[in-house]
Structure 1
Amino acid sequence: MLNDKRIRVITGHYGSGKTEFAVNYAIKLAKDNNKVAIADLDVVNPYFRSREKEEVLTNLGIRVIGSSIKGSGSDLPAISGEVLTPLQDESFEAVLDVGGDPVGARALGRYHSYFKEDKYDMFFVINANRPETQTKQKTIDYLRSIEFQSRAKITGLINNTHLLKSTTVEDVLRGQELCKEVSEELNIPIKYISCIESVAKELPEDLDGEIFPIKMYMREDWMS
């Protein structure tokens, strides 16, 4: 994480686990004594959004930026002007959680002037169990469409292949093979291998990318 740029954009297919990664990433930054803001730019999916965990994140000192409409009972496809604060204020470590498809990625395009080559990273989260990212070519096509709509380039891949709490080491390693194929084809590095803590402990240490253990903040205990 030390080598990542100050502005981190997290994107990927709907259901890839990108929001779970974004929340865990922001929490890790905050625990390392950074001034952190996480901005929810998902204007497509009303479920499992980072702003749902505003209380948890705020208690950890993380600034949460969602829609301009406050309250969990209301949801409009609108982004608060507060998003500009962590983009412009370089004292913040910024995490942008972007909508999980090319349509959702359009919301990022309005901020493209802040995405200079040396100022941001844009991570593409891959879950090999999702229908649009099960093969190398489908994954590359999806990645390219997000780049086109967002007007920004992907700088790193995240292997987040999972089956929620039923995830096995074999699931993660299968996803890792897909990520390697995409990485070699596009010359984009694998930055992280994201998985639940119990599985992370069992992974080989020689994998490409940093093993990133996560907790499941976005799913309540009663969910599968």
Structure 2
Amino acid sequence: MVNKDKRIRIITGHYGSGKSEVAVNYVVQLRKETEDKVALADLDVVNVYFRSRERKEEMKAMGIHPIDSSVDAPSLDLPAVSAEVTTPMNDKSYQYVIDLGGDKVGARVIARFRGSIPDDEYDLFFVVNANRERTQTAEEVMEYIDEIEAASQLKVTGLINNTHMLKATTVEDVLKGQEVSREVSKARNIPIKYVACLREVANQLPEGLEGEILPIDLYMRDDWMM
């Protein structure tokens, strides 16, 4: 039940982790579980591909309010960001999901809004894809988490195992990522909140995995992409 998480959910992860896909699927599930207003902010100013803002009209049709940065300038150190980003932070009638850029530059964007993010109102979820460089081992994941926390001025409160090989993802891929995530969880006392994977793979997972299963539908990739 994603509506049990804190009101402001920030989702980050290394390039290629699938964090934007997770963010979109998360907010779609949240929309199903709450009668509150729901907003999705795309603050990923690093990755110019597969950003959640590309599904703005689809989000609106679902009753989700989309917010994106005011300029498309991924190469800038601290690009201009719409002031609308702060509205759902300060308006407690909103349930809020933020798709945050997955490196030090991207994470610094959220730091400017730190004063509008109370400690007791946010979750920062780090998406783990153990099939990607720099996040293949627990040590690499923890090093990356340290960088994100320092840049964002926020603490990671949960892990999302989203280990995948796009449409070729297998149960073995997910379990590989689960083991890495468990090592990080044990070392840092950060819970595994979700296990995200394609819906057809989710149906094959063994019982008893730590974390709630979050089935993924591919909103961010066209059907012809592998």
Q: Same fold (TM over 0.5)?
A: yes
Determine if the alignment matches structure 1 residue 163 to structure 2 residue 184: no
- Residue matched to 2:59: 57
C-alpha distance in structure 2 between counterparts of 1:196 and 1:84, whole Å? 32
Give the alignment's TM-score, normalised by structure 1. 0.95
Report the Cα distance in structure 2 between the residues aligned to 1:62 and 1:131, rounded to whole angstroms: 33
Match of 2:23 in 1: 22
TM-score (norm 2): 0.94
Alignment of 1:191-210 (within 5 A): 191-210=193-212
| 2:138 alignment partner in structure 1 | 136
**Equivalences, count:** 219
How far has the Cα of 1:78 moved from its partner?
2.7
**Cα distance in 1 for residues equivalent to 2:7 and 2:69:** 22
Structure 2 residue identity aligned to 1:133: T
Alignment of 1:31-46 (within 5 A): 31-32=32-33, 33-46=35-48
Instruction: State the shift of 1:65 in Å.
Output: 0.4
CA contact (8 A) 2:23 2:99 kept: yes
Question: Percent identity at matched positions?
Answer: 58
Alignment deviations for residues 111-161 of structure 1 (CA, whole Å, 9 cap, x no partner): 112332211100000000110101111110000100000000000000000
Structure 1 gap segments, 5+ residues each: 70-74
**What amino acid maps onto 1:101 in structure 2?**
D
> Could you say which residue in structure 1 is the equivalent of 2:122?
120
Which SS does the other structure have where 1:132 is aligned?
A: coil
- CA RMSD, Structure 1 to Structure 2 (Å): 1.0
Q: Deviations over 1:41-61 (max 9, x none)?
A: 111111111100001101001
Structure 1 CA distance for aligned equivalents of residues 140 and 30 of structure 2: 32
Q: Output the amino acid matched with 1:6.
A: R
Distance 2:41 2:49 in 1: 15
Kindly provide the CA deviation profile for residues 5-50 of structure 1, in whole angstroms up to 9, marking residues without a partner as x.
Answer: 0000000101100000000111111122331100011111111111
**Contact 1:43 1:79 (C-alpha < 8 Å) held by counterparts:** no
